[in-house]
Amino acid sequence: MVLPPAKIVQAHKGELSLPNNQMRLDIEEGIPGFIKHRLKSELGFLGLDMLHPEVTSQSIPALRGWLDPDCLPEHPEGYRIEISPGGITFSSSTVLGLGHACTTLRYLVAKVDLSGKKASIQPMILEDWPSYAWRGMHLDVARHFFPVETIKRYLDILALHKINRFHWHLTDDQGWRLEIPILPRLTEIGGWRTGADGKKYGGFYTAQDVKEVLIYAQYLGIVVVPEIEMPGHVRALLAAYPDLCCTEEAQSVPSTWGVFDDVLCVGREETFRVVRTILDYVCELFPGKYVHFGGDEVPLKRWNACPHCQRTVMEEYLLGTASLQGWFTTRIAAYLAEKGKIAIGWDEILEGEPPEGTAIMAWRSEEHGANAAKAGYPVIMSPGRYCYFDHSQGGDGEPEAFPAVLPLERVLQFNPMPPKLDKAHHSNILGGQANLWTERIATPEHLEYMLLPRLTALASNLWHGKPDEGTVRAELPRHLELLSRLGYNYRALEHDR
């Protein structure tokens, strides 16, 4: 077995011998070179030598990969692996599926004892595909900044779990992390803060950095979803452009956590002009179809006292100040939709009337997700109770424990389908994801510790379609061994601590 669990459709008799731990790597022409590269480096790391198909002896078994339009055509990410005494073939109708096959081969080879020269693998046929199209993992790089190298390592871990969406939370109160050349103050000012220790802290990504991440993610079959928060969680933006706040007062980039009163003034056209400039740039830089624009946690204090915002309430016939948030986010979602993007917002955006097709990320509860699905919106389930990986894993020895606890056991029970949602609306649930907020996470090692192995449980449920505690628990020790071989930092299972 492998994690996420794959479906073995047939076990073969006999065995596939791997003399001298070698195979001939025979990849059909036309398949992107990174598939071959992945196999060479990933299986090579485990000790299996990948030789050129022509220059080597025919007695060495072949590892063959090919694109087959007839391979599980109803499952675009599906793939098939056949291990027979003569060799291994893997196929898919898509490059994405071939990538998943590479990951599964990595697990299968990791289980083979390659310490001698007489290794063998048990033959089988395996057909596999995911239950949910959206299998996501988020990372907050605003509270703490992580360089491109860390992001790539993070993506490696996601791919190892067949996660296919990386939600990159690029802006928040404590830092603006995306350089936007025509608004340079966003990163010159908003990219930096003064910590409690008096030291300057921060950083940001250039367009070149982003492109490097995008290419790397594409090789791994991962779509990068940028998030630009608005109209709340914008203190870093307001530090750079204070005129966009209702008070117009100069302010600093905060180094404390929480929800702040200062938000974008939504009663001025200038705010929309700047926001559109930012989104135009983001839409061009990120070629994927999704753009997340935040939309959560907006206090009304500033809007209540602002003549511009109050005039907007009157002119737009809104019911009151509380309606401004939905009115604003609806306008932004519509702008992104006009640009051909699928806009995504946290579930508060349903307080407005976002255009059809806007995706809702349900974080407050499963019920918020169910309600969004009933209203006809595509939904990504990320309820805090199961999916907030900034929460402590429980027990002793947590570095800087978060007051709330999310043990592995609960993630194992996470069903992406909200329990009270009737079948007619099930197809609106795109999938789910976990979020990793970094107020209390400052180092790559700690990041991995908070991610693993909870991500393993989440990814398994998203792939399998529902909790599969028995399989995952049975496989976890071996999976952790692989994580350890690959050098990742994870939290040991309770009985090993």
293 in contact with ligand ACM (CB under 6 A): no
* Pair 490, 449: CB distance under 8 Å: yes
Query: How far are the Cα atoms of 100, 155, 195, 295, 308 from residue 324, in angstroms, in the given order?
Result: 44, 37, 33, 11, 12
296 in contact with ligand ACM (CB under 6 A): yes
Which listed option, Zn ion, ligand ACM, none, makes contact with residue 265 (CB within 5 to 8 Å by class)?
Zn ion
CB of 445 to ligand ACM, least distance (A): 24
CB of 295 to ligand ACM, least distance (A): 9
The only residue of 308, 364, 446, 478 in contact with Zn ion, by rule CB under 5 A: 308
CB of 176 to Zn ion, least distance (A): 20
Sign of torsion over alpha carbons 264, 265, 270, 275: positive
The single residue listed with the structure tokens 């056949």 is: 82
Which CB atom, from 8 or from 300, has the smaller least distance to Zn ion?
A: 300
Q: Is 172 a catalytic residue?
A: yes
Q: Name the segment binding Zn ion (CB under 5 A); options: 69-77, 178-186, 301-309, 472-480.
A: 301-309
Alpha helices in 119-250 (DSSP H): 148-160, 185-188, 207-219, 235-240
Catalytic member of 49, 297, 353, 398: 297
Instruction: Please give the angle made by the CA atoms of 367, 371 and 377, to the nearest 5 degrees.
Output: 130
Site residues for ligand ACM, window 346-375 (CB under 6 A)? 346, 363
Phi, psi of 140 (to 5 degrees): -90, 115
Which CB atom, from 68 or from 229, has the smaller least distance to ligand ACM?
A: 229
The only residue of 6, 189, 253, 265 in contact with Zn ion, by rule CB under 5 A: 265
* Pair 114, 46: CB distance under 8 Å: yes
CB of 384 to ligand ACM, least distance (A): 7
Q: Name the segment binding Zn ion (CB under 5 A); options: 62-70, 200-208, 239-247, 371-379.
A: 239-247
Nearest to 359 by CA among 293, 296, 424: 293
> Any residues with CB less than 8 A from the CB of 387 and at least 6 apart, and which?
363, 381, 411, 414, 432, 433, 434, 435, 458
Here the tokens at position 113 are 């004892």
The single residue listed with the structure tokens 């005494």 is: 85
* Pair 141, 168: CB distance under 8 Å: yes
Which CB atom, from 308 or from 374, has the smaller least distance to Zn ion?
A: 308
The only residue of 15, 127, 212, 297 in contact with ligand ACM, by rule CB under 6 A: 297
Catalytic member of 167, 169, 233, 479: 233
The β-bridge relationship of strands 192-194 and 49-51 is unpaired
Which CB atom, from 119 or from 387, has the smaller least distance to ligand ACM?
A: 387
The only residue of 99, 136, 175, 267 in contact with Zn ion, by rule CB under 5 A: 267
CB of 215 to ligand ACM, least distance (A): 28
**What does the DSSP 8-state code read for residue 8?**
E
159 in contact with Zn ion (CB under 5 A): no
Whole-angstrom distance, CA of residue 381 vs CA of residue 167: 13
CB of 383 to ligand ACM, least distance (A): 11
232 in contact with Zn ion (CB under 5 A): no
CB of 481 to ligand ACM, least distance (A): 33
Catalytic member of 172, 227, 262, 296: 172
Whole-angstrom distance, CA of residue 450 vs CA of residue 386: 14
261 in contact with ligand ACM (CB under 6 A): no
Question: Using CB under 6 A as the criterion, which residues of the chain lie in contact with ligand ACM when the complex forms?
Answer: 296-297, 346, 363
Catalytic (active-site) positions: 172, 233, 297
Question: Using CB under 5 A as the criterion, which residues of the chain lie in contact with Zn ion when the complex forms?
Answer: 246, 265, 267, 306, 308-309
